[in-house]
Structure 1
Amino acid sequence: MSESQATLKSQLEELKCHFTWGLQEKYADIKEVEERLNIQLKYLNKDLKVRVYNLLAYVNHLNKDYKEAIVNLQKAEAILQESKVLETDIKYLLTFSNYAWVYYYLNDTERSKLFIDKINAIYTQSKGLEDLVQSETNGEQGWALLKFCSQYYEKAKDCFEEALKANPDDPEWNSGLATVVCRLEEFRGRDGSDFKSLSLQVLQRAVKLNPKDSVIKALLALKLQQLKRQQEAMKYIKDALELTPELPYLLRYVAKFYRRAGMFEEAIGVLKKAVSLTPTSGFLHHQLGLCYRQMLMQKNRRGNGRSPDMQNIKDLMEKAIFHFEKAVEEKKSFLHAHFDLADMYVRSNQHKKAEETYKKATELTTTPECEKQQAHLHYGEFLEKWKKSEDEAVEQYKKGLRIPVRNKHREECEASLRSIARQRLARNPRDASGLALLGFISKENQDKSNAMKLYEKALSNDPSNDEYLSALFDLKMM
């Protein structure tokens, strides 16, 4: 690399854009991200498409398709020009920064330098507005992280909070914060009262600053429904539907609201409408599966000794399975769809298919650590309860416990291991495997002293066990 190229690379690395925000391909299904972004372009307002085109350009880079990346950046630039945004406005920073990187990868150093000059001109023009510039780049980074994959939700939340420090009334950054807080609460099991209170506050503020944003209104409605404020929640759902009755991103949340309210026919009607607009949405098929499964469970509860309508139950079961299968097919990294599909296979006595589905869930490469714990927990529970294979279940619970993220799924893996260990020791107080399981739990919880004692006891009853010897050796080396 020549000195001028090294200087250019150093300048590029100082830019604030997708190429420097650490978006890693290993955490996302890139094909699914690209499909999702292209669908968004059909329905989003024009001004919101700028960031979608920019993220698509980065996805094109990951696919080594730089010609298409340039096309998408040109589309983003054209929207800004049509909106009469001056070329020295901070709104151009993201697009120009991505241009500079794409031309660098195309070995067009002159054009790359040209865009760096344009970026420097924006910074010169923005003297005295450094806080707003920082807010702009933090906010755009938050949206990029949020749209890329769930691995980055926590970091996205931090970015929006930073963006709001300098510009607390920005509608887009408030909307972004509200969205990511809701997703964190749902996908990360953040169920503490403080976190629930935070999500309500940020949603109320986002709705106030974005009165025309139907999706944010629907998210607030779901939060109010969760807090048993049904009448108030329904008002926001009706308001949202009046704003954008054909928007699939709204319809999915409206359907979720109806399903949670037990209004299954209404939910299914809304979801079928949404599927007609976006037929490849795994989320929508998953929601349909949930509706049919809940209807099935309701039918079973209402049986109460009466002769059940077996044909109706069979139809509901088949519909639930069909839509869960479709959800997994359309979005292969959709962990919770795997769980729900496996559950339906169990309910329909298809245990081999259930095991295959749980196994696939544990092997998904884009799953965040906390959700991997949940996958190992559910697979372990299946192996223990339905396959009656305690040893295989133990291996899954162990894998869940080895992941150091502290949450309820890890606690449940530990509780399951303790239960199995106690049952074994109740049958035989000298059972080496039971003692070793308790030793393993202590080891993973950083209780080295107790772990050593337990593994030593296990070895006294099974002195040639290589696994226990290895564990004890590792503990002594810690």
Structure 2
Amino acid sequence: MVYNLLAYIMHLKGDYTEAINNLKQAEENIENSDGKDKKRLVTFGNYAWIYYYMKQYDNAQIYIDKVNQIYDELKKLPNGTDKVAEIYGEQGWSLLKFSTQYYEKAQECFGKALELDPEDPELYTGLATAVYRLEGIKSRRYKESECKSLPLLQHAVEVNPNDAVLKALLALKLQDLKRDKEGKTYIEEALKQAPNLPYLLRYEAKFYRKAGLVDEALNILQKAVDLMPNSGFIHHQIGVCYRQKMFNLKNLVKGNSQLRYVYQKEIDEFVRKAIFHFEKVLEHKILIIAYSDLATMYPEVKDYEKAQDTFKKVMQFTNLTDEEKQQIHLSYGRFQEYHRKSESEAIKHYKECFQITYPTLHREYSEKALKRLAERKIKTNPPTALGFELLGFVYKNNVNVIDAIKCYEKALKYDPDNDEYWSELCDLKLKI
């Protein structure tokens, strides 16, 4: 699968010779796997396409004929439709590799594949992984009864007992559901099975970091980064660990200036290392969360201009997901409120985050921030109209029309000539 993806990337770069070399590597790997004919379908199809783009039509036709021959042979089998499952599965894995915006489509592909071939362990792995990732990008807390990925991961581990990465994902999900003891069992099993797999090591590090064992997580990540020094994901996880160590120390010395003086050098060192690794991420990978994390660390060293520039840069990206937009607007709102002391700009970005209806923790935090600022303004003497407007905005975006109307009516009591408030009130009344 990976060689097929590499061939596709080489095709996009116009390097067709290297694309063919990658397809040859894919073909060699297929020789050592079960169900060779089904697995050849995608690779042979890719050969046909590459030769087509090279204008070598005779070679393209050779591989089209090979694909048709495999189809004809598979049709003779009792479960001949499995050939389609293989293609859906390959599509699902490819979509999972490329971007978070394709995760839902990947889930659909694995679902269709399993309808055709319900006994394929690899397809169960794909479906469980896709659902797990979809729940992860929503950054919200799930009750166990709402968690769709847990039973899928449990079943996938049963049918794929040698898949260490799958066990790590199950461990992380159990940890999210406060079943840490069970999760630790799976993470330890995964470590024994694949102690030197960088892809797995980052999941293991995440488990230990979330368990509060940050130094253990850093030890694992150091091993991983030695194996893959240019991995943006690993550098990001290291940065997150140092940021956590900074937060832990800052919480320890909070309210105690003498203790703060003792630990200040250590805090500064953790900040420096976090910034170093977040910057390292962006040397190797466009990772949206790394931009946000980096921008929120610069104020720790009073570098407000770099923070501002980083926020502005990431906001210009045109392919941001809803969850990414929420995270950036929330972080930028906090930056404006606490570091720039610009309440108006903070409110603007809290609103931007909150009115994206995608259900995430970022949206919840923005709602809390807007309500906090609203209550502060309402409690002044006399109350300010903006406080009631903020509450009205929250109610409106939560589809609570009646309470939203009441808030805008109160806002107009204190600011009767505000055209924006009148417009909002009219639109709300038309809804009922």
Fold shared, TM-score > 0.5 on shorter chain? yes
* 1:99 and 2:53 aligned: no
Match of 2:172?
Answer: 222
Match of 1:28?
Answer: none
Distance of aligned partners of 1:424 and 1:183 in 2 relative to their CA distance in 1, 3 Å threshold: same
Match of 1:267?
Answer: 217
Structure 1 residue runs of 5 or longer lacking an equivalent are 1-50
Matched position secondary structure for 2:81? helix
Matched position secondary structure for 1:364? coil
Match of 2:74?
Answer: 126
- Structure 1 residue 323: deviation in Å? 1.6
Q: How does 1:425-464 map to 2 (within 5 A)?
A: 461-462=416-417
* 1:66 and 2:12 aligned: no
After superposition, give the CA deviation of every residue in 1:174-208 in whole Å (9 maximum; x if it has no partner).
22222222222222225332576432222222222
Amino acid at match of 2:30: L
For 1:197 and 1:418, the matched residues in 2 are separated by 29
Amino acid at match of 1:54: N
Amino acid at match of 1:319: K
- Structure 1 residue 468: deviation in Å? 8.1
For 2:10 and 2:430, the matched residues in 1 are separated by 47
- Among 194, 200, 210, the alignment partner of 2:160 is 210
For 1:197 and 1:447, the matched residues in 2 are separated by 27
- Structure 1 residue 162: deviation in Å? 2.2
Distance of aligned partners of 1:76 and 1:371 in 2 relative to their CA distance in 1, 3 Å threshold: same
Q: Is this contact kept in 1: 2:4–2:22, CA < 8 A?
A: yes
Q: How does 1:52-451 map to 2 (within 5 A)?
A: 52-81=2-31, 83=33, 89-127=37-75, 128-193=78-143, 197-303=147-253, 305=256, 307=259, 308-332=262-286, 334-410=287-363, 412-413=365-366, 416-417=369-370
- Structure 1 residue 156: deviation in Å? 1.1
For 2:134 and 2:13, the matched residues in 1 are separated by 29
Structure 2 residue runs of 5 or longer lacking an equivalent are none
- Structure 1 residue 374: deviation in Å? 2.0
After superposition, give the CA deviation of every residue in 1:294-341 in whole Å (9 maximum; x if it has no partner).
222223333474633333222222222222222233222x22222322
- Structure 1 residue 383: deviation in Å? 1.1
Q: Is this contact kept in 2: 1:185–1:195, CA < 8 A?
A: no
For 2:56 and 2:47, the matched residues in 1 are separated by 11
For 1:195 and 1:124, the matched residues in 2 are separated by 45
- Structure 1 residue 115: deviation in Å? 2.4
For 2:170 and 2:74, the matched residues in 1 are separated by 36
Distance of aligned partners of 1:272 and 1:196 in 2 relative to their CA distance in 1, 3 Å threshold: farther
- Structure 1 residue 454: deviation in Å? 5.6
For 1:228 and 1:161, the matched residues in 2 are separated by 28
After superposition, give the CA deviation of every residue in 1:352-410 in whole Å (9 maximum; x if it has no partner).
33333333333333421222122112212221232122332233234334545354434
- Structure 1 residue 143: deviation in Å? 0.4
Distance of aligned partners of 1:196 and 1:331 in 2 relative to their CA distance in 1, 3 Å threshold: farther
Match of 1:3?
Answer: none
For 1:389 and 1:170, the matched residues in 2 are separated by 56
TM-score, structure 2 length as denominator?
0.83
Q: Is this contact kept in 2: 1:258–1:266, CA < 8 A?
A: yes
Amino acid at match of 2:274: A
- Structure 1 residue 276: deviation in Å? 0.7
For 1:409 and 1:184, the matched residues in 2 are separated by 15
For 2:142 and 2:39, the matched residues in 1 are separated by 37
Pairwise CA RMSD: 3.6
After superposition, give the CA deviation of every residue in 1:60-114 in whole Å (9 maximum; x if it has no partner).
232233332222222212322455865xx22111112222222222233333333
Amino acid at match of 1:372: K
- Structure 1 residue 343: deviation in Å? 2.8
Q: Is this contact kept in 2: 1:185–1:191, CA < 8 A?
A: no
Deviates more, 1:211-220 or 1:421-430: 421-430
Q: How many residues are matched?
A: 423
- Structure 1 residue 457: deviation in Å? 5.9
Matched position secondary structure for 1:367? coil
Provide the identity percentage: 47
TM-score, structure 1 length as denominator?
0.76
Distance of aligned partners of 1:265 and 1:163 in 2 relative to their CA distance in 1, 3 Å threshold: same
Distance of aligned partners of 1:134 and 1:66 in 2 relative to their CA distance in 1, 3 Å threshold: same
